[in-house]
A and B are shown apart, each in its own frame.
Chain A
């Protein structure tokens, strides 16, 4: 459950500033590594700054979401892939690991974790590429998979707000007769959740808080009042402090979502060019780095060698 999950302990932060600090740190680390690599012609300006990384991140995140929506067979909507992508680039720079590969690896890993069984060939079959291109992509995905798991600190279970949303709708229907038809809130609440997935909301608030905000927001849009739900059904009538804190979180969250905008195409292209140049210059060959040299397993040697006995062997005795 969420309350004793690794997500709550390690991947939920208090303020947006903390997240920005981490990303800045990742950016700085790569820049200093690049500058000190001693390669000729490297200067500060060829690296991406934090703003440019953000632009590219949003672009690739949108592509990840589109990839998951267009996936055949139909991938269940879970938000795990998006969360992996977000967590990975919290501590790593886009300049070090190319977002295109990481995004596919995130989708691949989330299929496994969500128990949505696709074979790897089926997975890359969804890419718009030639057979050879698909195979190359698959190789890259498999190379990056362990890296991704490691950078997620092996915390693979992600709690998403979709089930809490269901729970709230059930609860509203059962305990809150003031609202006649909670079902009508579903569509706009789900839309809110999809938009929240493209912000840092998942790293700052618990999934139940996000779902509750979605419900209240869509009710407010429909012009319905729902304060009584919090005061009466949740028992917060006496607890003014918690109530005000909850309203505060909801305000912050809605602010985050309103502030999101899809980056413009020209901006994306300039940043992409810079990115490609950096990757061409500092390509990190993972195969070499992580000791994947001997692909053959070290098979446990049998204690006694297997021997075939025939009649001829006995003749020798």
Chain B
């Protein structure tokens, strides 16, 4: 029987770059610097690197080994390991599907910002003027121009999840573009993906280096970098630090989606994945640290700029209220003058007391932001104050796009590889058609995120769709490989592929430490959900100009439960189905599994 050969990467370098491009994503830029700031700056590196060694590298290596050995996508690979575990693959595909739906919306926003950078004045630099030209729009006055541009012009956000609105046409167009580009990258499977990853994996580093040079030469950047690297070692006593380090490593490497299994399934049988796993994990963590240096340089610049503007405002206030000559107060002695004037003219001072602000560089640096707020609001605010801001804006959003697109490649590959393995589908439709249908389906469902309340649904997906389920999936993965498939059998497979058995480090991690860590993280998440009460979200209030906390309505909570249940339940349901089929068909199921395992040698 002649079958069409499974496509493979043109070189091991393509595989490594694909893994790097997938693992190095937006989380490295917008989550790690936040965690660093919250948990004691340089001191956070200690739990972070420890967790990398304890769970990151071993689990990464394990997924690559499974993919390379089974040479199938996640559904086929787990069915081969044990016929009762096909649900694990299905859970991975479902989680990847949810991720694809909402992740590309971020790319759509990046496109929107990128296209809007080609103007003489960046649209988020100034507030738009109101109709009678006497001042700025009220919503923009209470918030800031960057927040206004993000919440009003980019999202046109409604004030709660209940208020739906029409679809934002600009967002819809950008989402369409994002999906067409994803399709272009994956249309020919690994052949096209392999070409693209040369660019998506390397160019972000070029931009990061350029930004590093620009960042450290900005006025006040050193304040931010110093702030980051001053370790506050007392944070190490806080258990939250360790939990956040473990979850960050886990999610940053992209385990459990099936993307790594899919990528590795296109490898040659003797590819040295062990070395590559260590390399990619270290590159991922190194990039996180590198990106946070850049982020903190930018933070320092923004904080210093705000601090100096605050001092200037206070200086003007003093000069205007007390009618002093301009040379008397300078930026350095503003605080002394405030104190002096308070003492000398208490009544007059009391009349302006409401306008006095406490200018503190420390307070500015302490404002920690993560996620889309960091990427689209804080960064664009810093960029608008740089000279030649259009150029920096274009560079920055191109980098965000490449990081996001690179991760999307892995996410979509995790869906199309198992689908392509299903004989029934690959016989009736060509690969290009299957890929196109997947992209089209995700695009149509993704339009829901471009409506006026879309950002709130985005937050639901971001927080619940891929967190608990992934921990569960990877925990079951590592337990089933070690105890259901058998650690000895796994060792032999690795020896077959690499030529040597895995040493004690791998075996100890796979058999004991990583499952323990994952289990405790899983329990911690569940406790957090239960203790947290009704889940809440941040809704944008346009009259106050800031986000307020609101509780999810009943249907929102039901949707969250559905999201979690739909991926978690795949595992037991599929196992039950397999058990029923086995009872019906007798021993033919076991025979089929044995054939699949031995024929892939």
> Bound pair: A and B?
no
- Measuring CB to CB, which residues of chain A are less than 8 angstroms from any residue of chain B? none
- Measuring CB to CB, which residues of chain B are less than 8 angstroms from any residue of chain A? none
